Amino acid sequence: MLRYFVASLLIVFATAVAGCRGDTMREAEPTRSLASVEPLLTRDLTPATARARIGAPDEETGSGLIIYKYRLAGNQTLWLGFPGYSAITYAQVERADGTRSTLTLR
């Protein structure tokens, strides 16, 4: 009887721990919005100033170009393209459905 109780208790504990770990591993919804970032997109934006103004990118990619990707609220992604460490060449927003539009640089 005691073994059954201990075994049941261990199963309940293991299930609770697994459930908690799943909650902490979920990615939080980004607090950064397109509206909050758009005023920061200027023609003189460089990778260094993007990091200073917007923060570290969620992903950095590119071959020949430096491309910063920022997760935005509403399941959107901001793409910033730089020719090396020089000023930005493009800014785009990718929507949840995969469509992209070019953003105006000020």
pLDDT at position 5: 44
What is the total count of domains within the chain?
1
Q: Does any domain span residue 59?
A: yes
pTM exceeds 0.75: no
Domain span at 79: 29-102
Q: Does any domain span residue 89?
A: yes
Q: Domain holding 86: CATH number?
A: 3.30.1450
Q: Does any domain span residue 22?
A: no
Distances in Å between the Cα of 104 and the Cα atoms of 20, 23, 73, 86, 99 are 43, 38, 19, 18, 17
Q: Which residues does the chain have with pLDDT short of 50?
A: 5-7, 9-10, 12-18, 21-24
Q: Does any domain span residue 70?
A: yes
Q: Does any domain span residue 53?
A: yes
